Amino acid sequence: PLSCFQVIRCRAAVAWAVGKPLSVEEVEVAPPKAGEVRVKIVATGICHTDEHILEGSFPDVDFPVIPGHEGAGIVESVGEGVTSVKPGDKVIPLCLPQCGECSFCLNPESNYCLKCHVSEPQTVLPDKTSRFTCKGKQIHHFLWVSTFAEYTVIPEYAVAKIDAAAPLDKVCLLACGFSTGYGAAINTAKVKPGSTCAVFGLGGVGLSVVMGCKAAGASRIIAIDINKDKFAKVKELGATHCISPHDFKKPIQEVLTEMTGHSVDYSFEVIGHADTMTAALVSCNMNTGVCVMVGVPASGSVISFDPMLVLSGRTWKGTLLGGWKMRDCIPRLVASYLEKKFNSDVLITHTLPIAKVNGGFELLRAGKR
């Protein structure tokens, strides 16, 4: 179509500098170049990682930038050589790409990709230029996806085609939050039926961990948060016990040991604090226990712990987007959503227009999500 050669003017939420609220601006979005896809973003979630950008604690982000990485949309146009998607296809942009060629992509047990932000910053597209401009200035991309724009340009290997029946305002959560938590239990921990799990932190990702533990057949799921307002929803999702550290004079790991007799089989830290990461490690049993780090700590954080905690046999693992190979697995997760295998809709607490994006971040900070 002719539009694929044209610049599109649309709205986007731009972060001009650290510590400043987002500013909804008119931006110009250039056409896709070879190997790129231009997507009309229909819906996006707000994830805590976007808040880390505004705070300046997400590494290697250049300002001004358009954040957002939990979106879903429709392909508007494609650049030369793109074969996996065509205009009109429903897609989910991937903040963890899958190039299909690097040693990690070729390893069936890995979901990392050497093209991802952890290897090299993705503040511009692979040809080292941006497709966004605003007020005559180049605007940087975030993780190549920048879903806080009404249109965005993404490399083909960071886009997954999904079922045309998928409701984009619901499945956008599968781009990051839900997939990360659900996969941490299913793929990373490999929770076994009949086991006992502890989940530290009950935001959207923590709730998704609970759903994953339940789906895997855990018999006891202990949910931990200082905000008791979250307990009703997490019990509906499968938690068997809900506890607040504020209700006890002793460390939470001692409480968990008393509740279970020998500590839990699997623990998940979904907050991103050094002290709760260590508490989660201590909370899983000393020999066969598995502790999974899901929360993202502040840049430069350091953890000190007694090496005997691991020498006795415990496993301490991290998870990268729940262990899913994103281009392969996101279409399957969307299919599972449509088959009602899980109900990620419960994670949606508010729906706002792009003009009220800063109000969304205020809800996030207040824990009202």
Residue 256 has pLDDT above 80, yes or no: yes
For 228, phi and psi rounded to 5 degrees? -70, -15
Average pLDDT over all residues of the chain: 95
Helix (H, G, I), strand (E, B), or coil: what is residue 40? strand
CA atoms within 13 A on the CB side of 115: 22
For the stretch 40-88, pLDDT in tens is 999 999 988 899 889 888 878 999 999 999 999 999 999 999 999 999 9
Q: How far is CA 80 from the centre of its chain?
A: 30
Between the alpha carbon of residue 349 and those of residues 203, 228, 234, 259, the distances in Å are 11, 16, 14, 32
Question: Do the bridges between strand 266-269 and strand 290-293 make them parallel or antiparallel, or are there none, so unpaired?
Answer: parallel
CA atoms within 13 A on the CB side of 262: 8
pLDDT for the residue numbered 39: 98
Neighbours of 126 (CB within 10 A): 17
pLDDT for the residue numbered 297: 86
pLDDT for the residue numbered 37: 98
For the stretch 23-44, pLDDT in tens is 999 999 999 999 999 999 999 9
For residues 277 and 293, what is the distance between their CA atoms, to the nearest angstrom?
7
pLDDT for the residue numbered 59: 77
Residue 95 has pLDDT above 90, yes or no: yes
Q: Which domains does the chain have, with CATH numbers?
A: 8-177+323-366 (3.90.180.10), 189-318 (3.40.50.720)
DSSP secondary structure, 249-287, as one string: SS-HHHHHHHHHSS-BSEEEE-S--HHHHHHHHHHB-TT
What is the tally of helices (H) and strands (E) in the chain? 10, 15
pLDDT for the residue numbered 367: 72
Burial tier of 339 (Cβ tally within 10 Å: 0-12, 13-18, 19+): exposed
The answer to whether residues 37 and 159 touch, using CB atoms and an 8 Å cutoff, is yes
For the stretch 151-186, pLDDT in tens is 999 999 999 999 999 999 999 999 999 999 999 999
Question: Do the bridges between strand 241-243 and strand 266-269 make them parallel or antiparallel, or are there none, so unpaired?
Answer: unpaired
Q: Give the residues across from 25 on adjacent strands.
A: 12
The reply to whether omega before 64 is within 30° of 0 (cis) is yes
pLDDT for the residue numbered 5: 76
Residue 296 has pLDDT above 90, yes or no: no
pLDDT for the residue numbered 57: 82
Helix (H, G, I), strand (E, B), or coil: what is residue 248? coil
Q: Of 104, 74, 50, 66, nearest to 1 (Cα)?
A: 74
Kindly indicate the confidence band of residue 352, based on its pLDDT and cuts at 50, 70 and 90: very high
Kindly indicate the confidence band of residue 4, based on its pLDDT and cuts at 50, 70 and 90: low
Q: Tokens standing for 232?
A: 């009703």
Residue 127 has pLDDT above 60, yes or no: yes
Kindly indicate the confidence band of residue 138, based on its pLDDT and cuts at 50, 70 and 90: very high
pLDDT for the residue numbered 3: 53
Residue 20 has pLDDT above 90, yes or no: yes
| Beta strand segments in the chain, E | 8-14, 23-29, 36-44, 71-78, 90-93, 132-134, 137-139, 151-155, 159-161, 196-200, 220-224, 241-243, 266-269, 290-293, 315-318
Continuous segment of H or E residues that includes residue 170:
helix 168-171
Residue 369 has pLDDT above 60, yes or no: no
Q: Tokens standing for 178?
A: 């839900």
pLDDT for the residue numbered 56: 85
For residues 279 and 260, what is the distance between their CA atoms, to the nearest angstrom?
15
| Greatest Cα pair distance in the chain | 67
Termini Cα distance of the chain = 40
For residues 272 and 49, what is the distance between their CA atoms, to the nearest angstrom?
11
Residue 226 has pLDDT above 90, yes or no: yes
Helix (H, G, I), strand (E, B), or coil: what is residue 228? helix
